Structure 1
């Protein structure tokens, strides 16, 4: 997408337009971001290093300001209710290299709160329209748009960013993003983390008058997977109930969605952003409800069940987005104390906005303990000798106590290099022919092999165990 930015405009935010704004004289960079000088150019008693979650030391001056304006690259995932607010906040507070991805298109129902879009944008891609709008309104800001789900980006691609902010509406995308950033963390031979490989993830979410923002620093704070139990299970419907004895209006919508569409419009792909398709589902759900004497089927409910839409309120989006953008600003500049680490807004219960630290889970499959053994051995070392070495000493476990193995299986099923006699499943008999073969005939130099053993469980090494064989000669 072209990065050229048009000049700022005085066009009122509520006016309907195509996004094209009249040109005016663009302010200088110094004038445009003068408001942040008091935060970045003067000493502060509340620098990042003074907080309970320090991740850097604040050094006031032009270098820090330049890091924000010229060097920091930020990724925003989602260009919906939260995403629109985030793009606006980030652009106005000094982030000038912003990337945004969203695969959704703009729907008429988005316009009441997703203020970067206009009536003429309905049907267009959210990320592309949002990027164009921001670049026209905020001179000097480059917003690069992508139109694919976050799961389609390679893990290494995220290394390009100083911070990632999620404005997502589903659990699976959050889990993928969390796991990807955990995988990017590199440790040295002593197991110590290389801080330069840590990419903070800021997650925001809203539901009606409630919302949350949190800072996830991989292997330092609780990650998303650590706290997965905080989220209720996804709503589902038993097909026997939906098909034969519906009791709720949601069952009628689900029947129209899961049964009637396939039956009556077989081969036609359902477009959840199509008003015509949604109207068809609504009409069929209404007929189904009338047949069973069920009330409460509405067009809004039809969209909610079909698209799993979470109720959105503009002011909640604005609040949560502001907290996320502020944390990104503090993480990049170190000009303030990083939030530690979970902030909640419960506006339906008054002004209740607590902040508290979520704790890491020792059984987390994303950031929990992991055994990663590096062995340097002669090429003539046999598979049996490798197994004896692995069971004769305590093996290091990242973020936990060492473990001594009583039995071991080296390699993954079915390509098992060798298994000792006590391993269940008959793998010792299947691999015993390899026992006295040199490792140089069985594995490559530097090859990583999975380890299995009775002491290696989901509780002790939730991220698994492996040995890397390096030939010393």
Structure 2
């Protein structure tokens, strides 16, 4: 086949020659034409299974970054032809070292749209539908149309949201409402891939206590004696932004907001003779970004797409249900079954029980909720089960009206068995907490 060059300057075979190649799916057909020693009982094989893979399976990829680019490529080259991708970001120059579907000319363009166009040019027959925006902008009915959802996200809150949404979508009377979620994530030389069957296996929220809490710097240090560039950036985002912009929320995905923080942090660093404040570091600190490594992305993306292939074709048992990879000193992978957490607020179906003392104040209850590793929340707001505010962190009017409740003893506000409704910016769902006096 004679190579041609596409709009992105990448050599590829001509579509006609590529489609005429009878051996295009030869290696994959070997898996789908016959049963194997661990093949699922539902496996049919042959033309019917190939049609499911190449014509009927509808896959949604969430995220078109370093991990998402690898996933999109792998899915198209495996034979999936109806792929959808959603991402709210635009391409930045710093993405080009690992997000290989993008070129310098693409800077400023939508990641989802650009990635879709590239894959369709590179893999004839593959249809990739892009959506530029937030996953929260789409209703549950949007996610019901897909057979499998693959998440390649760098955001904990987005992961929690899609996990909770897919769990809440499940209708026992409608088997098609259960949508498998394949979640992949990387942190430097470490990564993980997992298969989540909503309401059947452990969900993302079940393992939230495995996450390392974001690094927190003491307020006194960042306010009075900064020593690191990170201290200056935290000062700009935590102290200076609220002071200047009052009630305006900081959007860490807005380049103009990051630019303002960068300028403020740079001035602060110059004042204290601290070097190292950069635009990229500013974005990394406020978004808690850990540098990505291309090889780790490739390994985790391969694992995710392998699981999607197995789920779509039933040609082999799927992962049950967690694979972790560590490549710091060598290549190490380990799989295990993460068990469901009975008290999980998403898939457990029960409220959290707070065993409190009668000498507790409401403030102590708020601190107790914020300190729980299995909740990963920072600014909880509380309301009575009927909806009446108990203590709200925002908006300012409700915060001022309920602030006095913090110093009150819990028995003056709640009786044994009362339920409190908890909301938090980091929670994609409403949490119910039952009060039990010890």
Same fold (TM over 0.5): yes
CA distance in structure 2 between the aligned counterparts of 1:168 and 1:310, rounded to whole angstroms: 12
Please say if 1:46 is aligned against 2:38.
yes
CA distance in 2, matches of 1:348, 1:8: 41
Does the 8 Å CA contact 1:370/1:463 hold for their aligned counterparts?
A: no
Report whether the alignment pairs 1:363 with 2:354.
no
Q: Does 1:255 align with 2:217?
A: no
Q: 2:386 matched to which residue of 1? A: 413
The counterpart of 2:118, out of the listed 130, 133, 142, is 133
Structure 1 regions of 5+ residues with no counterpart? 1-6, 50-56, 189-193, 372-411, 416-423, 428-452, 466-473
Q: CA deviation at 1:204?
A: 0.4
User: What is the DSSP-based 3-state SS (H/G/I as helix, E as strand, rest coil) of the residue aligned with 1:343?
Assistant: strand
RMSD between superposed Cα atoms in Å: 3.8
Is 2:21 the counterpart of 1:17? no
Which has more radius of gyration? 1
Check the 8 A contact 2:4/2:14 in 1, yes or no.
Answer: no
- Aligned residue number for residue 353 of structure 1: 333
| 1:314 corresponds to | 294
CA contact (8 A) 2:320 2:336 kept: yes
Deviation at residue 199 of structure 1 after TM alignment? 0.9
Aligned residues: 369
Instruction: State how 1:33-432 maps to structure 2 within 5 Å.
Output: 33-49=25-41, 57-188=42-173, 195-237=175-217, 239-258=219-238, 274=255, 281-282=261-262, 284-369=264-349, 413=386
User: Which SS does the other structure have where 2:19 is aligned?
Assistant: coil
Alpha-carbon distance, 1:414 to partner: 6.9
CA distance in 2, matches of 1:250, 1:17: 37
Deviations for 1:410-440, whole angstroms, at most 9, x for unmatched residues?
A: xx7379xxxxxxxx9999xxxxxxxxxxxxx
- Superimposed CA distance per residue, residues 47-94 of structure 1 (whole angstroms, 9 cap, x where no aligned partner): 135xxxxxxx21212111100111000000000000000000000001
What are the ranges of 5 or more consecutive residues in structure 2 without an aligned counterpart?
352-384, 389-410, 422-429, 434-438
Question: 1:32 aligned to 2:17?
Answer: no
Deviation at 1:234, TM superposition (A): 3.1
SS at match of 1:68: helix
Q: SS where residue 165 of structure 2 aligns?
A: helix
- Partners of 2:22 and 2:271 lie apart in 1 by 67
- 8 A Cα contact 1:99 1:143, kept in partner: yes
Note closer, same or farther for the CA distance 1:270–1:76 as it changes in structure 2 (3 Å cut): closer
Whether the aligned pair in 2 keeps the contact of 1:105 and 1:273 (CA below 8 Å) is no
Shift in CA distance, 290/221, structure 1 to aligned 2, threshold 3 Å: same
- Partner Cα separation in structure 2 for residue 305 and residue 153 of structure 1: 29
Quick one: distance in 1 between partners of 2:62 and 2:54? 21
Relative distance call for 1:335 and 1:299 in structure 2 (3 A) is same
Displacement, 1:149? Answer: 1.1
Q: Do 2:3 and 2:13's aligned partners in 1 also have CA atoms closer than 8 Å?
A: yes
TM-score (norm 1): 0.69
- 4+ runs of 1 displaced by more than 6 Å? 18-22, 261-271, 424-427, 455-458, 462-465
Task: Answer whether contact 1:8 1:136 (CA < 8 A) is retained.
Answer: no
Instruction: State the 1:46 CA deviation.
Output: 1.7
Look up the SS of the partner of 2:333 in the other structure: coil
